[in-house]
Structure 1
Amino acid sequence: MPTPSTSPDRLPQNASGPSRLGVRRRMDNAKERETSQRSPYRLQLLGPVAAWREGRTVDLGPPLQRAALCVLAARAGRVVTKDTLIGGLWGDHPPNTAEQSVYTYIAGLRRVLETAPGRRGPYSTLISRSRGYVLERGAVEADVGDFERHLAEARRFQTAGDARGVLRTLEAATECWSGPALCGVPGPFAEAERVRLEELRLTAMEDRAGALLDLELHQKAVTALTELVAEAPLRERTRDLLMLALYRSGRQADALDTYLEVKRLLAERLGVDPGEALRERYELILRADPSLDLAQSETTDAGPGARPPRQLPRAATGFVGRVEELVRLRSLLTPWDGGVPQAVVAITGAPGTGKSALAVQAAHTAAHTFPDGQLYVNLLGATPGVERLEPIGVLGRLLRALGLEGKAVPSEEDEAAAMLRDRLDGRRTLILLDDAAGPEQVRSLLGLPSGNTVLITSRESFAVADDCVRLVLRRMRRSEGVTVLSKLVGAERISADPAAAARLVELCGGLPLALRLAAARLGERPDWSVRDLGGRLEDRRRTLHELESGQIAVRSSLEMSYEGLARGGALDRLAARTLCHLGVLHVASVTADVVAALVDEPPDAAERALDRLVRAHLLETGEAGRYQPHDLVRLFTIELADTHLTPQSRKDALMRALGFYGATSRHASALLDPHRVHFPWPDVPQRPLSLDGSAEARGWLDKELAHVISAASQAMASGDDEIAALGAYVGLALSWQLIREARYREQLELSRQTLLVGKRAGDLDMQALAHGQIAGALGNLGQLDEAVPHQEIELELRRILRDRFGEMRALGNLSVAQIEIARYAEALESAEVQNAIAREIGSAVGERHSLLMAGSARRGLGDAAGALCLLEQALTLARVAGDQHHESISLLFLAELCLDQGDPSTARDYLERGLRLSRESGQRGREGHLLGRLAQAHRLLGEPEPALRCALNSLAIAQRSGDEQLRRQAEDELREIGEAFPGVEVTPPRSAEEALSR
């Protein structure tokens, strides 16, 4: 794909150099003085891309290397994947060498940016991460950051109505520019970023002109806007401002000519007419409307008795945060282009998110846009013990506020709504409806004439409301929450322990209500530190109790929502019952299928109930089909379960959910590998989820594994023996998936819990199963000496139970452990006894396993021929059976035998086949061992690059799984590669992510 030209003499029409920007070009020495006082590197993107370090110019390399730096700088502090870099540099059609070029550019940038150039890692400025790279936040300071900070500050001044502050910060923002953005940098990212930044610059200059008009500096505004029109002749907002500035400067004819000129240009170039806002401005200027005169419009009064209503509650003096949301609301209520405001705006969100405070703040900010009045009604939609207002009552209040006598207010809703529309025709009025029960309560108020706005707050979704823009209010960011605490408690007290303050925000879930209550608790207890309160909230049984002050509490706010559902129709009542039952199962998120088991309802009914809770903002949706509560709502559901469900109901619900999880886990594992023998499973009424083949089975296990582990652990910690036993069997149902995924730590923890449950119940079979699982997990984690005793106990218990199949399997697992600690003669004996029992009871899988272990043991004893014979038998049997698990083990063992005999070429063939099978069957742990041996084969064949890649991937798997034996083997192999190929960088990575990124 040809690279777009970025030569400075071929600028797009609306781009501009320093002279057209009206910005002074800063001298290099001034920039160097500024740089020396900031971060080590100063990056210029708002102009020709350049960098300085400690006052000296830095050579950033070729254009594409500069483009890579621009992509990384735009996402400083976040991982930028190699695919993102390739897309940003070349788009959808990169060259074949793109990936290698990225490595080259990263290496070049590291030579420039790292504080200790020439040293091969570990890097501190441009760091390798999983599948990509991170440019450390703060390591490079860019002028774009300064520009955007000035814009954010200007928005805050706009919100506060401080025109001088707006002017000052926007002038500072435009001073950041020294030419067209990202000048000289090619690629799709640079092109898109140029467009984005140019749009921000033009908007900033328009806002600056607006501030000049607010300060009655009309002639200065004319000069600035005339220059801007020359740059961007088709921007309607610029023309609109210029027309107003000209009119206020006494140049009405010039203002009208400005409109006619843009009308002609739009027709010639785009074939369109000017927008509504521009046409309205033209009409007003044509008739010299008094509203255009700033001084007159601010002082004119309609006389006594005709004053427009001003009913808004007082804005909170301590309101902080929600900057983005306020900017969004301002753009809807007072559009930047001077157009009509949005007809309906609904601020929705969970209880305690600060909807009402934000709405009042936004309404005060936008009040000047609604000169005909601002009305307010509390609809009492979620107030306990009080009937919500009926629509006719709301209409009556609004009509009386607009001057209609009480006896003239119609008694019929439709008639009253029509009269309200008539009264508001041609006016600009803002109506704030606080705490709506839902769209039905306010539907008759939503079709008002253009120019009027209805601003609504509600815990319910307004997705079905016509012509409505929704702003869903979620939890505050940590930084905003800390600011709230500082404002309410005092900056000194909060800044004394910033880490504790940040943790307190997390414990409050980022909810403004919870933060206010936490601040109130600190105010009530001046002897407490922030850390003291945080410690009390860490005890999740006390969290909701601690977040109370006087009559205000997070719990009370949540109870209002729950009670509203419990008193509602059939679906609302089902949603309330579902919310109670969610407190029974302690998992991070749920699907409709598991909730169907919890509440004993069909999945479609459970899904409707969950969606109802989402609309009530009591649940949140993540990926498709998953639901999770906010942290404080989660605690509330546990309280609901304890107070609204009987102990037997809670037990039954949990048993149903465990039955569903366990049955589906076994079914999915069987679909993935029908040759593995699964552990016992009790007879439960729950049927497994219907899964169509291995792909769906793998997808279900991938998504649900962490949740099933949590449910099993929760159950095994129960004091109820039945619940604990079922939890143990659920954990055992996960065994093969945990082994496939090389999640040995979770396997060990679940197995230890299972052993405790088995001992408590006196269940020898469960104890035997647990000992075997513990032994396998310990062996895979490299704790071999600890593994063998557990395996020996399992074998003893199987013999006590006279369980021949269990005895056979225990012997096979014992032979694995014995081989790992080089007790080959004992391993051979165990494998031969296993083989005899397997033949006796007709277990083909046991026979294959015994041949594999016997072959491995004979290899350890130096009997290569005997080992080869047994391993080839095992391979043949595995192929005939279609058992990919045993086939890949056979290929690994045969490859190790070939490596012993100095035949790396044949070993490589075996290993590549085994690796393909392991990946197809999802055997992550086996994949690590195959990669380690494949690295060895490539090294012996003189192939450094594939050897290094395989060794690093093997190490990454070892680090993620905790397999210490595999980790040592991979690190040894990396050292061997370094010695065999001195020019190859083989410094062991610090993490799995770093290993994979190389």
Structure 2
Amino acid sequence: MRGVSPAAPDGDHTPLFRLLGPVRVGPPGGPQVRPGPPRQQAVLGVLLLRRRRPVTVAGLVAAVWGNDAPASAAGNLRTYAWALRTLLEPGRAPGEPARILLGDERGYMLDTPPESVDAWRFEQQVEAARKVRERGDTAAEHALLAGALALWTGEALAGVPGPFAEEERTRLAALRTTARKRHIVCALRLGLHHTVIPELSMLTREFPLDEELRALLMRALHGCGRQAEAFTVFADTHRVLDEELGVAPCPELTALNARLLAHDPPLLVRRPPPRTPARPQTRSARLPDEAERALGDAMSALTKGADRAVVPVLAITGPAGAGKTALARRIADSAADRFPDGRLYAELRTWGPGEAGSGPLLGYLLHALGIPAAGIPADPDQRAALYRSALAVRRVLVVLDGTRDAAQAVPLLPGTPGSAVLLTTRSRVLPFELPAATHIELTAPPAAAPPCRVDIDVPDTAAPDTAAPGCEDLPPELARAARRLTRHGTFPSSVDALAAVLGTGPADAARIAEALVDARVLDTPAAGAYRPRGRP
């Protein structure tokens, strides 16, 4: 610009500018102040975001006033420029050339280093995060994005008028939202689920129609073991989208809900390395040989229903420790592409006999299918009808793990072809009581050293409660039961005898005994009979 020579500002005294929140300016390490009235802030914002490029008077007028510029706009600009020079260079003597805000009758330019503007630093750090992401360095990306987001103190250019400020507010807000999502994704991949739940909860309230944010919240909750809350997020999303837009959740969100229901690990989680060396794999940790050979037959059994106009049911039977659940998960994973609407998973061992099918379990499955709580009827028959109607328009694999009997399973079967059922059970009778069922039977693996020793040769009833080493991985109730049995001289084999030793009723004793069988502490040689694992 004519008559003005830019002079490099003294780096020690160059002011710092904050645009990512209320506009502020001040020296490094000194107080930050508001740079004048709103339109003067608008002029400063335009010059800063143009990054050392001249802006004509006409351009400034359009950026600050738009189509509503008064006749005095050019004169007002000269006043704002004078006030900004006084603020930015308080020690400049009269007649001394300006070093920061340069200008003449044609226009103005701010000669400041880019790093003095927080908006520039934010965009640079976001770009640096993108580059390290390409190298697969999640921890570095997380740290860079954390630093970038820390620069924000509120809405960008808060309270600044004019079309230019509005456009920049929108642009910077979009960049910030993207950076926040990426920062959350990194946290989930690093296993920091609990750190992002408060922010995600706030963001989903602020942007209730953003399905990506809701998916991230579901993953974070699931990663913290808060599965019920994760499924509630999906149901609430289904309700909000239906009420506001008349649409269902997107396929990606629906698929995520199905994966969480199936107890699959969240897609974004990269678990941290274990702190202790992994234990050597035992036979109980892998599928039995006969189970591996059954995979092909199982796939055929689950998909033949489309040709026969029936709902196929695949029942996997076998004693505790035979690998039923592991095989069911392997089959469900292998068949995932045959059921595009995902899978429903219910662990039936955790539901009492009166709850299965007609009570809370059907309500749980309806909720998992996206039916809002207000739409789930109280009547069991109406719940069953709604459940089958919901499955009639979907292709879903229903996985029922630990099924006791036909009375528990039948209400959970889909009513129309397209979906299929995969269940595990200890009952050898159940497969023959279900329509269109194919049966795979697994045998017990060879006896091996139990993970939690129950030593019946220690009759000392005064042994401390810390006896039975190796039980520390069991839930407290089961660990206490195992210790009591360890201290008992003659091992009780019947449910009534177990109840007497454990101080419970027969029903609770049977439940505990079955759980200890699942934990490979006890064997069950016959119905209602139990013994320490590996003992004759």
TM-score by length of 2: 0.45
Q: Return the index of the structure with the highest Cα Rg.
A: 1
Bigger proportion of residues as helix: 1
Higher relative contact order (CA 8 A, sep 6+): 2
